[in-house]
Chain A
Amino acid sequence: MQFSAGLELKLEYFLAIAAVLFGIGTYGVLTRRHVVHILLSIELMLNAVLINLIAFSAFLTPEKLTGQMFAVFVIVVAASEVGVGLAIILSIYRKRKTVDVDKINILKG
């Protein structure tokens, strides 16, 4: 893809950004203790997926738009997942007044 300023964008740049975002997201899911932070980290991972899909679509199959269609579906599913997730978190918060995953630990063994 060629831009007027003579700057050339390669596919690899997008993939690298996506991979870094995905890594940050995974790290966040594994280390954060607050459930909402975990949800945000998962959103980061899904955004990495979106960047991947759109970059592949634009660079590899610009005539077909399949990747961009896929991205639309991923956005929709991500939104519905967050909807369900926040409902679950809210219901837990009402009962226990905490959403720290370390304190939500009745089930173990």
Chain B
Amino acid sequence: MSIMSINIVYIIPELIIAFFALLILLLSVFIGKKFDIALAPISVFGIFISLVSVFVFNFYNKSSVFNNSFVVDNFSNFFRIFILTSSLIFIVFTFSYSKGSIYIKRHLGEFYFLILMVIIGAMLMSASCDLIMLFISLELVSIPSYILAGYEKMNEKSEEASLKYFILGVLATAILVYGFSLVYGATGEINLKEIARAIINRNLLENNYVLIIGVILSLVGFAFKIGAAPFHWWAPDTYEGAPTIITTLITTIVKIAAFAGLIRFLYVGISGFKNSIWIVLFLVLLSLLSVIIGNLMALPQKNFKRLMAYSSIAHAGYILIGFSSANTDAQFAIFIYLLAYIAMNLGAFSVAMLVEKTRHSEEIKAFAGIGYTNPFISICMIIFLISMVGLPPFAGFLGKLLVFKAGVENNLTWLVIIGVITSVISLWYYVNIIKHMYFVRYEGDSSLLKIKASKLSVFLITILAIFTISMVIIPSVFILVSRNAVVFF
């Protein structure tokens, strides 16, 4: 084993975020309340510098450093850009949300510190090439999000959400790391590439059940984190109870990070997992249950956040169809789906946050009548919702099309048919929101009729809506990007 080669250049983006996170924490401790106004701009500045540094230092490099546990390749660079851009948008939303929440306002320094920690974890996850690194970065994403979910300390719902998220998250971690230990035992390696080599050399996927049990237990752990059925119990409660801004974080960045880890683990580590009928069967089972349970359970929901929880379970199911058909086409389909997913989810939640801020309610009823008082925002909301259904001129369509195409090419036509049928079912509950926006009169204080929206939020919502449309208008650009993004070093 060589001496650990320290090559700081490759982790500069993460280091910059870590620097700014600690800076925010120290400033908020020592300068205190007077400084709160500057915290969000500092975070935005840090993320922006980090984004620039990805382009400056890492974009054309390919290398694995820190004893091959950290790998800089196209996949990690694209994922870093992806995560940093979406967290840039996310942080701007926190800026207006935090003004309305007493508890977040009271501990603003820690709030931004924890969010930046989640972002570092997500970035490290996409670059990890080693079981230890995967485990640590998964925890770096999870532990701050347990705290953030319970951030409204005096709100019983928020506390309960945090507790449920914590217990099931830790259970998932224990199962995941037990699986990792079995994978390590079966192959004798912890580096993902060495694991892949050992599996091919010794033909382990066909005759070693310790490995297969290990992989399946790891998949159970990942399934908890991405919220795939039947390991989704925490999702609806946590989504409903947590502050809406944190729900947005959990559905977008945390979920994307878990998917990045899953892609690394399956496609780099267990690269020949298609040869094992058990692993493929398990993935198919996960995606089948997720699309069915997610879409059917969403039908009776009255709370917007709870509805989005089930909808995101269903989306995890659609993405898992891509995983169960393991080839390069499926990989870039997954990447495109993730791009579409994050854009439409960020958009829908940002509109919901604006509604919640004015009308103080998360029910679907609170959307009543905004089609007439705020026509522009409503049109954007329609774009996001129809995109989630997967109808043509929007991003969700491209994602679903490519994932289904990969499924059909790999003899999973029956699963794709179930996927299409459940998408049709999903139309019902998404259109229900649109119905409330246009055809239901708002029965509440008439001073709350018009949703107050700052110019910055409207600008970001517009960008997200344009992104959602442009994915279908110029798909070749996104397909080119995604094809390059799934090249592993």
Asked if B177 contacts A88 (CB within 8 A), the reply is: no
Distance in angstroms between the alpha carbons of A53 and B162 in the assembled complex: 30
> Is B240 part of the contact surface with A, judged by Cβ < 8 Å?
yes
Q: Is the interface of B mostly helix, strand, loop or mixed?
A: helix
Asked if A52 contacts B185 (CB within 8 A), the reply is: yes
Asked if B241 contacts A70 (CB within 8 A), the reply is: no
Give the number of residue pairs across the A-B interface with Cβ within 8 Å. Answer: 116
* In-complex Cβ contact of A89 among B135, B163, B182, B241 (8 A): B163
Residues of B within 8 A of A104 (CB): 160, 163
The interface centre, meaning the residue of A55, A101, A106 with most chain B CB atoms within 10 A of its CB, is A106
* In-complex Cβ contact of A56 among B139, B159, B166, B185 (8 A): B185
Asked if A48 contacts B143 (CB within 8 A), the reply is: no
Distance in angstroms between the alpha carbons of A101 and B159 in the assembled complex: 12
> Is B409 part of the contact surface with A, judged by Cβ < 8 Å?
no
Give the bracket for the number of chain B residues in contact with chain A: 35 or more
Residues of B within 8 A of A1 (CB): none
**Interface residues contributed by chain A, number (CB under 8 Å):** 44
Asked if A91 contacts B159 (CB within 8 A), the reply is: yes
Residues of B within 8 A of A38 (CB): 167
Contacts A38-B167, A77-B139, A107-B237; is A49 near B177 (CB within 8 Å)?
A: yes
Known: A52-B181, A84-B146, A91-B153. 17 other contacts (CB 8 A): A49-B178, A53-B181, A66-B189, A70-B135, A70-B180, A70-B184, A73-B136, A74-B135, A77-B135, A77-B139, A80-B143, A88-B150, A89-B163, A91-B150, A92-B159, A107-B241, A109-B236
* Chain A residues near B (Cβ < 8 Å): 15, 22, 25, 29, 35, 38-39, 42, 45-46, 48-49, 52-53, 55-56, 60-61, 64, 66-67, 69-70, 73-74, 77, 80-81, 84-85, 87-89, 91-92, 95-96, 101, 104-109
| Cβ contacts A to B, 22 pairs, < 8 Å | A22-B178, A35-B167, A38-B167, A45-B171, A52-B185, A53-B184, A56-B184, A60-B185, A73-B132, A73-B136, A84-B166, A88-B146, A88-B162, A91-B159, A92-B159, A95-B154, A95-B156, A96-B156, A105-B160, A106-B241, A108-B237, A109-B236
